A and B are shown apart, each in its own frame.
Chain A
Amino acid sequence: MATHTRGLTETTSVRTRGLTRSFEGRAVLDGLDLEVEPGEFVVLLGRSGSGKSTLLRALAGLDDGVAGSGEIDVPEQISVVFQDSRLLPWQRVLTNVVLGLRGGGARTKGREALAEVGLAGRERAWPGRLSGGEQQRVALARSLVREPQLLLADEPFGALDALTRIRMHGLLRALHERHRPAIVLVTHDVDEAVVLADRVLVLDAGRIGTELRIDIEAPRDPSDPRFAAIRTELLAALGVGGPRSDEEAA
């Protein structure tokens, strides 16, 4: 396991150098270099098994006991949003939001965060009473209330239905605009990547294969020809449909 050092300059929020992680002798991350600017929204795309979740867990420091090497620099204040909302079912919504938060005014901050994700008035609800989308919004509130410099999200909307997901994309973009944390979000949904990201990284064989900056202004419309062009390019990078898969077939 690599050491986390805290020597970041003002222009980088995350930096990894030669990051390697392997499971049972198979390298999942293979000398990966990554830099994320403060306030930048980076989406990691990749086929299953491409190492995107492994990278995220490494950044979160959640990979104790995993074999690996390399350097990781991440900010002090990190929040993680998981695919499951991971709310404690036996604590009420507000208690979940302020879990582990120290200092006075934690509950006030928690209430504000809940209001920001549109759940004002649900402070005393049990998580089991909420819909999947609402639960994930509580999880977002829980991550934001900590004022993170870096937000790590592992397929946070993967378990939601399509309509709820569209609404969550809007919410996440708005929250990002307001709080400006650096975000690294993992997904396998190409459209989600194009809707959300400032920059999309496609992971391939344990390294960053393709890197794409997206400059379409928000709100991004999937029927925009630029959107379609980027989607095609990303799908090709993932080996679906594009010219690259033809090459592979040849």
Chain B
Amino acid sequence: MTALKPAETEHRGAGAEAEPGDVGRPRPAEGRARARRRLGPGTPIPAGFLIGPLLLLGIWFLGSAQGWIDPRFLPAPWTIAQTAAELISSGRLGADLLVSAQRFAIGLVFGVAAGVALALVSGLSRIGEAIVDGPVQIKRSIPNLALLPLLLLWFGIDERMKIITIALGVLIPIYIHTHNGLRSIDSRYAELSETVRLGHGAFIGRVILPGALPGFLLGMRFAVTSAWLSLVVVEQVNATNGIGYMMQLAGSYGQTDVIIVGLVLYGLLGLISDGIVRIVQRRALSWRRTLED
């Protein structure tokens, strides 16, 4: 019986024809024979996204403990933790972090405000679009980094230049996605609004703004990432404080551990701010989740 199973399986798989004599007889191999081969990636692994990073961390630990990794090249994880603890207790990290977070926040606020304002102007009127959309699209194709020399000349090396650079990076994704959100609102809703005689203000408040919110929040996720990116750049080009400056300084003294603390910090800040936007997204768009679930 056991020897027969593979042959049976093969037969059923190929022809899918049961032998007449077999009908009704319980066959232990039937369940397996009937199972189709799955072509998809299979069921998701719980917390699977953590496996890769943890594996890397494990290799780092093991490599450092075994002396395979040169500490000048990449210090051991515990050295990094120790350096971080020292930087925190001395207050240096806190001060630099505060400065960086401030630049990030101010740049983000200005960039979002400008991006939304421009998107509204260009999304709600054809003339507005004719005036605004072109310049923004042109700006979009120029990398922020390439603008830096000009911004340095125009605004000097002080705080203003840094905030403007960050805000310019934020403005683009906010504009693009909010404008797209505005324009992809179904025109049937405009028709409906006419039949219920909705006023202009109510139309914007009830239909346009909530309808564009998904686009805006998507733009927000890109904007947050862009703001951190710009921050790294401006803090390394010319600064006397901030995380970027801390890393820059560490670089010239060969303090690899401080550089890595800075990198980890940037990573964490990026993850946290993206997480916050995602939470806001989930709350504000709960109506949409009901459609997508």
Contacts and interface: CB of A to CB of B under 8 A. Distances in A.
Interface of A: 60, 62, 78-80, 82, 84, 86, 88-92, 95, 99-101, 126-129, 142, 146
A113 B2 CA distance: 70
Contacts of A78: 195
Interface in B198-225: 198-199, 202, 206-207, 210-211, 213
B253 interface: no
Contacts of B290: 126, 128-129
A142 B192 CA distance: 11
B291 A91 contact: no
Given A91-B210, A100-B202, A128 B291 contact: yes
Interface string B277-293: 00000000011101100
Given A79-B195, A88-B210, 7 more contacts: A62-B194, A78-B195, A80-B195, A82-B192, A88-B192, A88-B206, A89-B291
B19 interface: no
Given A89-B291, A129-B290, A62 B210 contact: no
A100 B287 contact: no
9 contacts: A84-B188, A86-B188, A88-B192, A88-B207, A89-B287, A89-B288, A91-B206, A100-B193, A128-B290
A86 B291 contact: no
B191 interface: yes
Task: Report the 5 A-B pairs with minimum CB-CB distance, sorted nearest first.
Answer: A100-B196, A128-B291, A90-B210, A100-B198, A126-B287
Nearest to B195: A80
Contacts of A79: 195
Interface residues of B, number: 22
A146 B192 CA distance: 14
A90 B288 contact: yes
A89 to B, nearest CB: 6
A126 B194 contact: no
B155 interface: no
B198 A90 contact: no
Contacts, number: 55
Given A90-B288, A128-B288, A100 B197 contact: yes
B189 interface: yes
Interface in B84-140: none
Contacts of A100: 193, 196-199, 202
Nearest to B286: A126
A107 to B, nearest CB: 14
A128 B287 CA distance: 7
Interface of B: 188-189, 191-199, 202, 206-207, 210-211, 213, 286-288, 290-291
A86 B186 CA distance: 10
A146 B196 contact: yes
Contacts of A146: 196
A133 to B, nearest CB: 17
Given A84-B188, A99-B206, A90 B287 contact: yes
B293 to A, nearest CB: 9
Nearest to A99: B196
Contacts of A89: 287-288, 291
B16 to A, nearest CB: 35
A127 B291 CA distance: 9
Given A91-B210, A99-B198, A100-B202, A86 B287 contact: no
A142 to B, nearest CB: 7
A126 B285 CA distance: 11
A145 B288 CA distance: 26
A79 B211 CA distance: 23
B194 to A, nearest CB: 7
B195 A60 contact: yes
A193 to B, nearest CB: 24
B213 to A, nearest CB: 7
Contacts of B191: 62
B205 to A, nearest CB: 11
Contact of A90 (B188, B193, B195, B213): B213
B148 to A, nearest CB: 40
A80, A100, A126, A127, most chain B CB atoms within 10 A: A100
B234 to A, nearest CB: 37
A86 B189 contact: yes
A237 B231 CA distance: 74
Nearest to B214: A90
Contacts of B288: 89-90, 128
